[in-house]
C-alpha cells in the first residue's frame, strides 16, 4: 500500500489522516490494482505453512492471483500487459515475466505481456557493488581515510564475487556501510548520517540513515490501521492490521536458493525500460549504467552509438533518455530512490510514454524528448544544505577501467563527452493498449529497511543473505568490461522497432489517447484494491500477491 499512498496511487495521506489527490497518480490511463504480495505482507495473511520459500514459489503464486483476477474481469485479459516496479523489483520482476512467458509457451497465448520497466532496481550485484564506491567518490561522499578503507573493501568484494555471486554479498556491503560512516556527524549529542535513498538529505538519525523515510510513512501506517478503513476495504479478517514489513515472510525465505538471474524466455516482450533517480545511493545511476553497458542484447553490447536526448516538461529539463534495440534508460533529475514519491509529474510522464499515451502532455504541461541536440547543463539542486555539493551531474557519464588492480580508482577518471558510448534518449512510446503490473518492490524494500537498522557492515542485506543461489559467472563490472557474456543478456527482447516511432519531438504526431489500460500495482508497497479476494486463502496460499 506504500505505492498507493506514497508514490503512484491517486492519494496521499495528510497528517490529520485525511486524503489529498496526488498529482502524480497513474490512474488516468490505467486501471490500477494494488496487490499485497507475497502472502503475509500488508493486509494479506496465511498460517505458518502458507509462506513462500523461494522466488519461484512467489512467481507461481502470483500467476494464480492473475488467473483469478482475469476470471473475475475477463474483459481485461485482452489488453497489453506490462510489469513495472522499483528497488528489489529489479530482481523479482524478471521472475514474474519469465513465469508468464513460460506459461504462454506451454499453453499458447494467455498473458499478453509486452514489456517490463524497472526503477532504481537492484538487478546485478556484480556491477552495482562497484557503483557504491564510484558513485560515492563522484558525489564527494567518500573522503580521506574513509575513501582508502572503502577502496580496500571493494577489492575484498571483488575477491568474494570470484568465489560466488548472490544478490547480496556480505563483504561487499561493507563499502556502503563505510559511505554511511563517512557521513556520520553529531549535533547536540545526536548522531546523524546521510539518507541512503536520497543523498541530498544529510541529517537522518543514525544508524537508520533514512529507514524512516519517506516521513509520511508513519501517518500512512496509522491511516491503514483505522478500523473504518479496514472495514471499508473488507480487510477485517487480518487481525494484526496492515504491516509494511513481515519478519515471518522474510524468515521463510532465508534458505531460498533462487538464482538472481531467472531470465530465460523474454524475447516476446517489446518494451524494456530502466529508470534511475539522480540522487539515490543504494541503487544508483552508475550501477544501472554499468549493468546496461555490459549487457549484450539483440546482437550488440550496451547502447553503442545511441545518443542521449534531453527530456523536458514545460521547457524545464527533467531528465535524459537513451534508447537502443528496444531497451530504454531514463535518468530522472532530482530524483531519489522512490522517484514517484518526489518526482511525481516526471514519473507520470515517463510511464505515459511507456504506454504510448498522454499526447505529450502531462497534467496540462507539454513534454518532449529532444534528439540530437546539444546537451543542456543540468540545473543545480535548489535544496540548499541538502544538495550533493560539487557532485558531477548524473546526466553526464563516466567511462571506467574494469581491470582488477585499478578498478577502485575508476571514479576519478576524466568524464567523457555526453555523446560517448552511452549516448542518449530517442524518446519512447510503447503500444497504446496496455495492461500494466506495477511491482514497486514490496519484498525487497522492506528487507532493505530492516537490514539497515544496525551499524554492523554485515547487516545491510542480512535478510537477503541466503535468498539467492551461487553462480559461477565471470566478473563483469564497469563499462569497459570486454566480456560479452552477461547474466542479464536475455533481459531485453528482440523487437528492435518498438521505439522507432516515438521521438517525442514537438513535431511528432501526438499519440492518440487510449483508456484501455490496466495496471496491477504490485508495489513494495502492499495494497489491496481487490476487495473481494480475501477469501482466496481458503483455496490457495497464493491469493494475495503483494
Q: How does pLDDT run across 428-461, given as a tens digit for each residue?
A: 223 334 455 655 444 444 544 444 444 443 333 3
Per-residue pLDDT of 452-504, as tens digits, reads: 444 443 333 343 333 333 333 333 345 444 343 333 333 333 322 222 223 33
CA gap 411, 314 in Å, rounded: 34
- pLDDT, residue 82, reads 82
Helices 89-107/55-72 angle, 10° precision = 60
Average pLDDT over residues 317-337: 95
| pLDDT score, position 130 | 96
The active-site residue, picked from 134, 280, 370, 522, is 280
| Residues 61/542, Cβ–Cβ less than 8 Å | yes
Q: Given this model, what pLDDT does residue 1 score? A: 78
Q: At residue 410, does pLDDT exceed 70?
A: no
Domain for residue 456, yes or no?
yes
Q: Helix/strand/coil (H, E, C) string of 310-340?
A: EEEECCEEEEEEEEECCEEEEEECCCCCCHH
The mean-pLDDT minimum among 198-207, 365-374, 380-389 falls in 380-389
Catalytic residue among 337, 517, 537, 546: 337
Least confident range from 47-61, 146-160, 290-304, 327-341: namely 47-61
Which range among 204-218, 255-269, 501-515 shows the weakest confidence by mean pLDDT? 501-515
Domain assignment of residue 452, yes or no: yes
* Percentage of residues in the chain having pLDDT higher than 70: 64
Active site residue 454: no
Lowest mean pLDDT among 146-150, 190-194, 399-403, 421-425: 421-425
Decide if 10 is inside a domain.
Answer: no
Q: Which domain CATH number covers 121?
A: 3.40.50
Lowest mean pLDDT of 246-255, 379-388, 490-499, name the range: 490-499
With 80 as the cut, is the pLDDT of residue 133 above it? yes
Please check whether residue 18 lies inside any domain of the structure.
no
Residue 266 is assigned to a structural domain of this protein: yes
Question: According to the model, what pLDDT value does residue 235 have?
Answer: 85
Does residue 87 have an active-site annotation?
Answer: yes
* The pLDDT value given to residue 170: 87
Rounded to whole angstroms, the Cα distance separating 372 from 375 reads: 9
**416 in any annotated domain:** yes
Answer with the residue of higher pLDDT: 229 or 398.
229
How much is the average pLDDT of 289-306? 88
Which residue segment(s) compose the domain that 165 sits in? 24-209+236-538
Q: Please name the residues in contact with 330: beta carbons below 8 A apart, sequence gap of 6 or more.
A: 273, 274, 275, 276, 311, 319, 320, 321, 350, 425
Catalytic: 280? yes
Q: How far is CA 181 from the centre of its chain?
A: 25
pLDDT band for position 269 (cuts 50, 70, 90): low
Q: In the predicted model, is pLDDT for residue 162 greater than 60?
A: yes
Residue closest to 441 by CA, chosen among 197, 175, 85: 85
22, 46, 54, 87: the active-site residue: 87
Mean pLDDT of the chain: 72
Q: What is the pLDDT of residue 266?
A: 52
In a domain, 545, yes or no: no
Q: In this structure, is residue 4 part of a structural domain?
A: no
**Cα 357 versus chain centre, distance:** 22
Give the highest mean pLDDT range of 114-123, 295-304, 379-388, 457-466. 114-123
The least confident of 23-32, 63-72, 453-462, 483-492 is 483-492
Q: Place 262 in a pLDDT band, splitting at 50, 70 and 90.
A: low
Domain count, the chain: 1
Q: Above 70 in pLDDT, residue 401?
A: no
% residues pLDDT > 90 (the chain) = 35
Q: Which of 19-23, 109-113, 152-156, 309-313 has the lowest mean pLDDT?
A: 109-113
Residue with the bigger pLDDT between 186 and 104: it is 186
Amino acid at each position: 500500500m506504500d505505492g498507493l499512498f506514497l508514490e503512484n496511487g491517486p492519494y496521499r495521506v495528510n497528517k490529520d489522516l485525511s486524503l489529498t489527490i496526488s498529482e502524480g497518480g497513474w490512474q488516468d490511463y490505467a486501471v490500477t490494482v494494488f496487490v499485497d504480495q507475497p502472502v503475509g505482507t500488508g493486509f494479506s495473511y496465511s498460517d505458518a505453512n502458507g509462506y513462500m520459500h523461494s522466488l519461484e514459489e512467489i512467481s507461481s503464486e502470483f500467476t494464480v492471483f492473475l488467473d483469478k483476477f482475469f476470471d473475475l474481469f475477463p474483459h481485461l485479459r485482452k489488453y497489453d500487459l506490462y510489469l513495472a516496479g522499483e528497488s528489489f523489483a529489479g530482481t523479482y520482476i524478471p521472475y514474474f515475466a519469465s513465469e508468464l512467458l513460460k506459461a504462454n509457451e506451454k499453453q499458447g497465448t494467455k498473458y499478453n505481456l509486452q514489456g517490463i520497466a524497472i526503477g532504481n532496481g537492484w538487478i546485478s550485484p556484480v556491477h552495482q557493488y562497484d557503483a557504491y564506491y564510484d558513485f560515492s567518490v563522484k558525489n564527494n561522499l567518500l573522503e580521506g581515510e574513509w575513501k582508502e578503507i572503502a577502496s580496500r573493501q571493494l577489492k575484498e568484494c571483488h575477491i568474494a564475487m570470484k568465489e560466488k555471486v548472490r544478490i547480496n554479498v556480505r563483504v561487499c556491503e561493507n563499502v556502503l556501510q563505510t559511505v554511511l560512516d563517512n557521513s556520520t556527524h553529531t549535533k547536540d549529542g545526536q548522531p546523524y548520517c546521510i539518507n541512503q535513498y536520497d543523498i541530498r538529505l544529510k541529517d537522518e538519525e543514525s544508524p537508520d540513515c533514512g529507514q524512516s523515510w519517506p516521513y509520511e510513512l508513519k501517518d500512512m501506517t496509522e491511516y491503514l490501521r483505522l478500523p473504518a478503513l479496514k472495514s471499508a476495504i473488507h480487510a477485517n479478517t487480518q487481525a494484526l492490521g496492515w504491516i509494511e514489513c513481515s519478519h515471518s515472510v522474510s524468515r521463510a525465505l532465508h534458505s531460498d536458493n533462487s538464482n538472481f538471474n531467472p531470465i530465460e524466455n523474454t524475447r516476446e516482450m517489446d518494451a524494456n525500460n530502466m529508470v534511475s533517480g539522480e540522487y539515490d545511493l543504494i541503487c544508483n545511476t552508475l550501477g544501472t549504467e554499468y549493468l546496461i553497458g555490459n549487457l549484450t542484447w539483440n546482437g550488440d553490447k550496451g547502447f553503442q552509438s545511441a545518443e542521449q536526448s534531453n527530456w523536458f516538461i514545460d521547457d524545464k529539463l527533467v531528465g535524459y533518455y537513451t534508447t537502443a534495440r528496444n531497451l530504454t534508460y531514463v535518468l530522472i533529475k532530482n530524483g531519489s530512490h522512490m522517484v514517484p514519491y518526489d518526482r511525481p509529474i516526471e514519473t507520470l510522464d515517463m510511464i505515459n510514454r511507456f504506454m504510448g499515451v498522454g499526447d505529450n502532455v502531462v497534467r496540462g504541461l507539454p513534454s518532449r524528448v529532444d534528439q540530437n541536440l546539444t546537451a543542456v547543463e543540468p540545473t543545480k539542486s535548489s535544496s540548499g544544505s541538502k544538495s550533493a555539493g560539487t557532485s558531477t551531474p548524473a546526466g553526464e557519464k563516466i567511462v571506467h577501467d574494469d581491470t582488477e588492480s585499478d578498478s577502485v580508482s575508476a571514479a576519478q577518471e576524466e568524464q567523457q563527452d555526453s555523446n560517448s558510448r552511452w549516448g542518449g534518449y530517442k524518446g519512447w512510446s510503447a503500444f497504446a493498449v496496455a495492461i500494466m503490473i506495477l511491482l514497486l518492490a514490496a519484498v525487497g524494500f522492506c528487507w532493505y529497511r530492516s537490514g539497515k537498522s544496525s551499524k554492523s557492515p554485515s547487516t545491510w542485506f542480512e535478510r537477503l543473505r541466503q535468498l539467492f543461489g551461487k553462480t559461477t559467472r565471470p566478473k563483469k563490472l564497469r563499462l569497459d568490461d570486454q566480456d560479452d557474456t552477461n547474466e542479464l543478456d536475455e533481459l531485453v527482447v528482440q523487437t528492435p522497432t518498438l521505439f522507432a516511432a516515438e521521438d517525442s519531438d514537438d513535431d511528432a504526431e501526438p499519440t492518440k489517447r487510449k483508456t484501455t489500460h490496466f495496471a496491477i500495482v504490485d508495489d513494495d508497497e502492499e495494497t489491496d484494491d481487490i476487495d473481494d479476494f480475501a477469501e482466496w486463502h481458503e483455496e490457495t496460499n497464493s491469493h494475495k500477491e503483494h
